[in-house]
Amino acid sequence: KTGGWRTYRPIFDYDKCIKCKLCELLCPEPAILPKDDGFFEFDYDFCKGCGICANECPKQAIEMVLEEK
């Protein structure tokens, strides 16, 4: 587990996602996991909140929100 110290966490907007896999490919941790329906989910145990996925998403389907402890 490496994601315990993040300030922001990503959330998906599945209505905007085009299943391009860019987020999964660019994530520096094993924090974005494919689902059976072709979409993705976050493994928050490993997500560091770096925001690379949100910054690189071509459809802005990922939003970084303040982590609630």
**From first to last of its 69 residues, what are the pLDDT tens digits of the chain?**
776 778 999 999 999 999 999 999 999 999 999 999 999 999 999 999 999 999 999 999 999 999 986
Q: What per-residue confidence (pLDDT) applies to 68? A: 82
Q: What per-residue confidence (pLDDT) applies to 2? A: 74
The full DSSP string for 14-63 is: TTT-----HHHHH-SSS-EEE-TTS-EEE-TTT-----HHHHH-TT--EE
pTM: 0.90
| Centroid of chain to Cα 12 | 7
**Which residues, at least 6 apart from 19, have a Cβ–Cβ distance to it below 8 Å?**
38, 39
Set out the domains of the chain in order of their start, with CATH numbers. 8-66 (3.30.70.20)
Q: What per-residue confidence (pLDDT) applies to 14? A: 97
